[in-house]
Structure 1
Protein backbone atom coordinates (compact mmCIF):
# COMPACT_ATOMS: atom_id res chain seq x y z
CA UNK A 1 0.00 0.00 0.00
CA UNK A 2 1.16 3.52 -0.75
CA UNK A 3 0.07 6.50 1.32
CA UNK A 4 0.68 10.19 0.71
CA UNK A 5 0.81 12.22 3.94
CA UNK A 6 0.63 16.02 4.10
CA UNK A 7 -0.10 18.55 6.83
CA UNK A 8 -0.25 22.20 7.78
CA UNK A 9 -0.86 23.94 4.45
CA UNK A 10 -2.54 26.82 6.35
CA UNK A 11 -4.90 28.07 3.67
CA UNK A 12 -2.72 27.28 0.65
CA UNK A 13 -5.30 25.30 -1.30
CA UNK A 14 -3.32 25.20 -4.56
CA UNK A 15 -0.58 23.03 -3.07
CA UNK A 16 -3.22 20.40 -2.23
CA UNK A 17 -4.69 20.64 -5.74
CA UNK A 18 -1.17 20.06 -7.10
CA UNK A 19 -0.70 17.00 -4.88
CA UNK A 20 -4.03 15.53 -6.02
CA UNK A 21 -3.17 16.12 -9.68
CA UNK A 22 0.29 14.58 -9.19
CA UNK A 23 -0.66 11.57 -7.07
CA UNK A 24 -4.25 10.60 -7.97
CA UNK A 25 -4.01 6.99 -9.16
CA UNK A 26 -0.39 6.68 -7.96
CA UNK A 27 -1.11 6.17 -4.25
CA UNK A 28 -3.76 4.13 -2.49
CA UNK A 29 -4.77 6.83 0.03
CA UNK A 30 -4.01 10.49 0.70
CA UNK A 31 -3.97 11.72 4.31
CA UNK A 32 -4.09 15.31 5.56
CA UNK A 33 -3.04 15.74 9.20
CA UNK A 34 -4.88 19.01 9.79
CA UNK A 35 -4.49 22.78 9.75
CA UNK A 36 -5.71 23.09 6.19
CA UNK A 37 -7.80 26.16 7.08
CA UNK A 38 -10.21 25.08 4.33
CA UNK A 39 -13.93 24.47 4.64
CA UNK A 40 -15.01 20.92 5.51
CA UNK A 41 -17.22 21.00 2.39
CA UNK A 42 -14.26 21.64 0.04
CA UNK A 43 -14.27 19.13 -2.85
CA UNK A 44 -10.61 18.37 -2.08
CA UNK A 45 -11.77 16.29 0.86
CA UNK A 46 -13.16 13.79 -1.66
CA UNK A 47 -9.49 12.95 -2.31
CA UNK A 48 -8.02 13.17 1.21
CA UNK A 49 -8.75 11.62 4.56
CA UNK A 50 -8.55 14.67 6.83
CA UNK A 51 -8.57 15.57 10.53
CA UNK A 52 -9.11 18.83 12.37
CA UNK A 53 -6.10 20.89 13.36
CA UNK A 54 -5.90 23.61 15.97
CA UNK A 55 -6.39 26.22 13.18
CA UNK A 56 -9.41 24.41 11.70
CA UNK A 57 -12.38 25.83 13.53
CA UNK A 58 -15.25 23.85 12.00
CA UNK A 59 -16.47 21.00 14.17
CA UNK A 60 -17.35 18.97 11.05
CA UNK A 61 -13.70 17.87 10.85
CA UNK A 62 -13.03 14.78 12.99
CA UNK A 63 -10.27 15.06 15.61
CA UNK A 64 -9.04 11.53 14.96
CA UNK A 65 -9.40 8.97 12.19
CA UNK A 66 -8.74 5.24 12.20
CA UNK A 67 -8.32 3.83 8.70
CA UNK A 68 -7.96 0.07 8.32
CA UNK A 69 -7.08 -2.04 5.34
CA UNK A 70 -5.80 -5.59 5.06
CA UNK A 71 -2.24 -4.53 5.81
CA UNK A 72 -2.28 -1.53 8.17
CA UNK A 73 -4.31 0.18 10.85
CA UNK A 74 -3.63 3.89 10.55
CA UNK A 75 -4.34 6.30 13.40
CA UNK A 76 -4.31 9.98 12.46
CA UNK A 77 -4.74 13.13 14.53
CA UNK A 78 -3.32 16.62 14.21
CA UNK A 79 -1.28 16.23 17.39
CA UNK A 80 -2.12 19.32 19.43
CA UNK A 81 -4.53 17.41 21.69
CA UNK A 82 -1.89 14.73 22.25
CA UNK A 83 0.82 17.29 23.11
CA UNK A 84 3.17 15.94 20.44
CA UNK A 85 5.51 18.90 21.02
CA UNK A 86 6.44 17.18 24.29
CA UNK A 87 6.86 13.62 23.00
CA UNK A 88 4.90 10.70 21.65
CA UNK A 89 3.63 9.20 24.93
CA UNK A 90 0.02 10.39 24.68
CA UNK A 91 -0.35 9.70 20.97
CA UNK A 92 1.19 6.24 21.50
CA UNK A 93 -1.49 5.44 24.09
CA UNK A 94 -4.22 6.56 21.68
CA UNK A 95 -2.68 4.47 18.91
CA UNK A 96 -2.39 1.40 21.14
CA UNK A 97 -6.12 1.56 21.92
CA UNK A 98 -6.89 0.96 18.23
CA UNK A 99 -3.90 -1.36 17.62
CA UNK A 100 -2.43 1.06 15.08
CA UNK A 101 0.56 0.06 12.99
CA UNK A 102 0.99 3.58 11.56
CA UNK A 103 0.48 6.88 13.42
CA UNK A 104 0.20 10.10 11.40
CA UNK A 105 0.25 13.59 12.88
CA UNK A 106 1.31 17.17 12.15
CA UNK A 107 1.11 20.31 14.31
CA UNK A 108 4.82 20.86 14.97
CA UNK A 109 5.64 21.68 11.31
CA UNK A 110 8.73 19.49 11.79
CA UNK A 111 9.61 16.34 9.87
CA UNK A 112 9.65 13.24 12.05
CA UNK A 113 9.84 9.54 11.24
CA UNK A 114 10.55 6.74 13.70
CA UNK A 115 9.42 3.27 14.73
CA UNK A 116 8.65 2.25 18.33
CA UNK A 117 7.31 -1.18 19.27
CA UNK A 118 6.69 -1.98 15.59
CA UNK A 119 4.56 1.16 15.09
CA UNK A 120 5.57 3.81 12.53
CA UNK A 121 5.18 7.40 13.78
CA UNK A 122 5.30 9.95 10.99
CA UNK A 123 5.01 13.72 10.83
CA UNK A 124 5.21 14.93 7.22
CA UNK A 125 6.33 18.40 8.31
CA UNK A 126 4.54 21.40 6.86
CA UNK A 127 3.91 21.80 3.14
CA UNK A 128 3.78 25.60 3.61
CA UNK A 129 5.51 26.73 6.82
CA UNK A 130 8.37 24.45 7.91
CA UNK A 131 9.92 24.85 11.35
CA UNK A 132 12.87 23.32 13.11
CA UNK A 133 16.24 22.24 11.78
CA UNK A 134 14.95 20.91 8.43
CA UNK A 135 13.64 23.96 6.56
CA UNK A 136 11.82 22.10 3.80
CA UNK A 137 8.24 22.54 2.64
CA UNK A 138 7.52 18.83 2.70
CA UNK A 139 5.21 15.87 2.45
CA UNK A 140 5.87 12.14 2.70
CA UNK A 141 4.98 8.96 0.86
CA UNK A 142 4.87 5.72 2.84
CA UNK A 143 5.12 2.41 1.04
CA UNK A 144 3.94 -0.34 3.36
CA UNK A 145 4.56 -3.98 2.51
CA UNK A 146 4.18 -7.16 4.51
CA UNK A 147 7.84 -6.89 5.57
CA UNK A 148 8.74 -3.21 5.76
CA UNK A 149 7.89 0.48 5.72
CA UNK A 150 9.67 2.59 3.11
CA UNK A 151 9.34 6.33 3.63
CA UNK A 152 10.36 9.06 1.22
CA UNK A 153 10.02 12.76 1.93
CA UNK A 154 9.53 15.20 -0.94
CA UNK A 155 9.86 18.92 -1.37
CA UNK A 156 7.06 21.01 -2.73
CA UNK A 157 8.59 20.54 -6.20
CA UNK A 158 7.84 16.78 -5.89
CA UNK A 159 11.54 15.94 -5.94
CA UNK A 160 12.62 13.30 -3.42
CA UNK A 161 15.01 14.45 -0.71
CA UNK A 162 17.76 11.82 -0.79
CA UNK A 163 18.71 12.31 2.87
CA UNK A 164 15.09 11.84 3.96
CA UNK A 165 14.59 8.25 2.83
CA UNK A 166 13.93 5.65 5.53
CA UNK A 167 13.38 1.91 5.62
CA UNK A 168 12.11 0.02 8.67
CA UNK A 169 11.59 -3.71 8.92
CA UNK A 170 8.30 -4.94 10.32
CA UNK A 171 8.58 -7.62 12.99
Structure 2
Protein backbone atom coordinates (compact mmCIF):
# COMPACT_ATOMS: atom_id res chain seq x y z
CA UNK A 1 0.00 0.00 0.00
CA UNK A 2 1.25 3.48 -0.89
CA UNK A 3 -0.01 6.98 -0.26
CA UNK A 4 0.59 9.81 -2.70
CA UNK A 5 0.13 13.48 -1.77
CA UNK A 6 -1.00 15.51 -4.81
CA UNK A 7 -1.11 19.32 -4.87
CA UNK A 8 -1.31 21.93 -7.61
CA UNK A 9 -1.47 25.63 -8.29
CA UNK A 10 0.09 26.98 -5.09
CA UNK A 11 1.03 30.19 -6.96
CA UNK A 12 3.96 31.37 -4.87
CA UNK A 13 2.80 30.30 -1.42
CA UNK A 14 5.70 28.64 0.35
CA UNK A 15 3.79 28.63 3.65
CA UNK A 16 0.99 26.41 2.32
CA UNK A 17 3.46 23.91 0.86
CA UNK A 18 5.49 23.83 4.07
CA UNK A 19 2.41 23.26 6.25
CA UNK A 20 1.06 20.47 4.04
CA UNK A 21 4.48 18.79 3.84
CA UNK A 22 4.92 18.96 7.61
CA UNK A 23 1.38 17.76 8.30
CA UNK A 24 1.75 14.61 6.19
CA UNK A 25 5.46 13.92 6.68
CA UNK A 26 6.06 10.23 7.31
CA UNK A 27 2.48 9.41 6.25
CA UNK A 28 2.97 9.58 2.46
CA UNK A 29 5.38 7.74 0.18
CA UNK A 30 5.41 10.27 -2.65
CA UNK A 31 4.59 13.98 -3.03
CA UNK A 32 3.53 15.45 -6.37
CA UNK A 33 3.11 19.10 -7.38
CA UNK A 34 1.23 19.51 -10.67
CA UNK A 35 2.72 22.90 -11.51
CA UNK A 36 2.23 26.62 -11.06
CA UNK A 37 4.27 26.68 -7.87
CA UNK A 38 5.92 29.89 -9.13
CA UNK A 39 9.02 28.82 -7.19
CA UNK A 40 12.59 28.08 -8.20
CA UNK A 41 13.86 24.52 -8.23
CA UNK A 42 16.12 25.19 -5.24
CA UNK A 43 13.34 26.63 -3.04
CA UNK A 44 13.13 24.61 0.20
CA UNK A 45 9.32 24.54 0.11
CA UNK A 46 9.17 22.61 -3.19
CA UNK A 47 11.93 20.16 -2.20
CA UNK A 48 10.68 16.61 -1.86
CA UNK A 49 7.90 17.12 -4.40
CA UNK A 50 8.01 15.63 -7.89
CA UNK A 51 7.21 18.89 -9.67
CA UNK A 52 6.34 19.88 -13.23
CA UNK A 53 6.29 23.25 -14.95
CA UNK A 54 3.03 25.17 -15.19
CA UNK A 55 2.08 28.10 -17.39
CA UNK A 56 2.94 30.54 -14.54
CA UNK A 57 6.30 28.94 -13.70
CA UNK A 58 8.70 31.45 -15.20
CA UNK A 59 11.59 30.91 -12.74
CA UNK A 60 11.76 27.18 -12.07
CA UNK A 61 13.57 24.85 -14.41
CA UNK A 62 11.00 22.10 -13.94
CA UNK A 63 10.22 19.48 -16.63
CA UNK A 64 7.00 19.78 -18.65
CA UNK A 65 6.03 16.26 -17.56
CA UNK A 66 7.24 13.55 -15.22
CA UNK A 67 6.68 9.80 -15.05
CA UNK A 68 6.80 8.18 -11.64
CA UNK A 69 6.44 4.49 -10.85
CA UNK A 70 5.15 3.25 -7.51
CA UNK A 71 3.68 -0.14 -6.54
CA UNK A 72 3.51 -1.19 -10.19
CA UNK A 73 1.57 1.94 -11.24
CA UNK A 74 2.88 4.38 -13.83
CA UNK A 75 1.90 7.93 -12.94
CA UNK A 76 2.06 10.75 -15.48
CA UNK A 77 2.36 14.22 -13.96
CA UNK A 78 1.65 17.32 -16.06
CA UNK A 79 0.24 20.76 -15.43
CA UNK A 80 -2.34 20.48 -18.17
CA UNK A 81 -2.01 23.74 -20.07
CA UNK A 82 -0.16 22.04 -22.95
CA UNK A 83 -3.06 19.59 -23.30
CA UNK A 84 -5.95 22.11 -23.14
CA UNK A 85 -7.47 20.37 -20.11
CA UNK A 86 -9.90 23.23 -19.54
CA UNK A 87 -11.80 22.22 -22.67
CA UNK A 88 -11.19 18.47 -23.12
CA UNK A 89 -9.30 15.53 -21.67
CA UNK A 90 -8.72 14.00 -25.11
CA UNK A 91 -5.16 15.22 -25.76
CA UNK A 92 -4.04 14.32 -22.24
CA UNK A 93 -5.64 10.87 -22.45
CA UNK A 94 -3.79 10.24 -25.74
CA UNK A 95 -0.49 11.25 -24.13
CA UNK A 96 -1.15 9.05 -21.09
CA UNK A 97 -2.00 6.09 -23.34
CA UNK A 98 1.14 6.70 -25.40
CA UNK A 99 3.29 6.52 -22.25
CA UNK A 100 1.41 3.58 -20.72
CA UNK A 101 0.26 5.55 -17.66
CA UNK A 102 -2.32 4.09 -15.26
CA UNK A 103 -2.79 7.32 -13.30
CA UNK A 104 -2.57 10.93 -14.51
CA UNK A 105 -2.14 13.88 -12.14
CA UNK A 106 -2.73 17.38 -13.48
CA UNK A 107 -3.84 20.87 -12.46
CA UNK A 108 -4.23 24.15 -14.37
CA UNK A 109 -8.03 24.49 -14.15
CA UNK A 110 -8.01 24.93 -10.34
CA UNK A 111 -11.05 22.58 -10.32
CA UNK A 112 -11.06 19.52 -8.06
CA UNK A 113 -11.93 16.38 -9.99
CA UNK A 114 -11.37 12.69 -10.63
CA UNK A 115 -12.52 10.47 -13.46
CA UNK A 116 -11.65 7.28 -15.25
CA UNK A 117 -11.11 7.38 -18.98
CA UNK A 118 -10.75 3.87 -20.38
CA UNK A 119 -8.50 2.18 -17.79
CA UNK A 120 -6.70 5.34 -16.65
CA UNK A 121 -7.48 7.38 -13.53
CA UNK A 122 -7.24 11.17 -13.92
CA UNK A 123 -6.81 13.23 -10.73
CA UNK A 124 -6.96 17.02 -10.45
CA UNK A 125 -6.37 18.05 -6.82
CA UNK A 126 -7.82 21.53 -7.39
CA UNK A 127 -5.85 24.53 -6.15
CA UNK A 128 -4.39 24.98 -2.68
CA UNK A 129 -4.21 28.75 -3.20
CA UNK A 130 -6.88 29.97 -5.64
CA UNK A 131 -9.71 27.41 -5.92
CA UNK A 132 -12.44 27.63 -8.54
CA UNK A 133 -15.90 26.17 -8.23
CA UNK A 134 -15.64 25.86 -4.43
CA UNK A 135 -14.28 27.74 -1.44
CA UNK A 136 -12.08 24.94 -0.09
CA UNK A 137 -8.39 25.05 -0.94
CA UNK A 138 -8.04 21.39 -1.87
CA UNK A 139 -5.35 18.77 -2.23
CA UNK A 140 -5.53 14.99 -2.50
CA UNK A 141 -3.99 11.95 -0.90
CA UNK A 142 -4.35 8.95 -3.19
CA UNK A 143 -4.13 5.63 -1.39
CA UNK A 144 -3.10 2.68 -3.59
CA UNK A 145 -4.09 -0.78 -2.36
CA UNK A 146 -3.72 -3.57 -4.90
CA UNK A 147 -5.89 -2.54 -7.85
CA UNK A 148 -7.88 -0.09 -5.76
CA UNK A 149 -7.15 3.64 -5.64
CA UNK A 150 -8.93 5.66 -2.95
CA UNK A 151 -9.01 9.44 -3.37
CA UNK A 152 -9.09 11.38 -0.09
CA UNK A 153 -9.74 15.11 -0.51
CA UNK A 154 -8.41 17.60 2.04
CA UNK A 155 -9.28 21.24 2.61
CA UNK A 156 -6.14 23.11 3.62
CA UNK A 157 -8.06 24.94 6.33
CA UNK A 158 -10.24 22.20 7.85
CA UNK A 159 -8.81 18.78 6.99
CA UNK A 160 -10.31 15.80 5.20
CA UNK A 161 -13.64 16.22 3.42
CA UNK A 162 -15.01 12.72 3.99
CA UNK A 163 -18.00 13.15 1.69
CA UNK A 164 -15.61 13.48 -1.29
CA UNK A 165 -13.75 10.20 -0.71
CA UNK A 166 -13.96 8.01 -3.81
CA UNK A 167 -12.69 4.55 -4.67
CA UNK A 168 -11.63 3.57 -8.19
CA UNK A 169 -10.48 0.26 -9.64
CA UNK A 170 -7.25 0.82 -11.58
CA UNK A 171 -5.40 -1.97 -13.40
CA UNK A 172 -1.64 -2.02 -13.19
TM-score, normalised by the number of residues in structure 1: 0.94
* Structure 1 gap segments, 5+ residues each: none
Aligned to 2:156: 156
Which aligned pairs between 1:115-126 and structure 2 lie closer than 5 A? Answer: 115-126=116-127
Aligned to 1:78: 79
Q: Go from structure 1 to structure 2 and tell me whether the alpha carbon gap of 1:27 and 1:59 turns closer, same or farther (over 3 Å shift).
A: closer
Matches of 1:170 and 1:139, distance apart in 2: 20
Per-residue CA deviations over 1:36-62 (Å, capped at 9, x if unaligned) read: 111121123331000001000136110
How many residues align? The count is 170
What displacement does 1:7 show?
Answer: 0.5
SS class of match (1:163): helix
* Structure 2 gap segments, 5+ residues each: none
The question of 1:17 aligning with 2:18 is answered yes
Q: Which runs of 4+ in 1 moved over 6 A?
A: none
TM-score, normalised by the number of residues in structure 2: 0.94
Q: Is the 8 A contact 1:71 1:146 kept in 2?
A: no
The range that moved more, 50-59 or 122-131, is 50-59
State the superposition RMSD in angstroms.
Answer: 1.3
Aligned to 1:143: 143
Q: Is the 8 A contact 2:40 2:61 kept in 1?
A: no
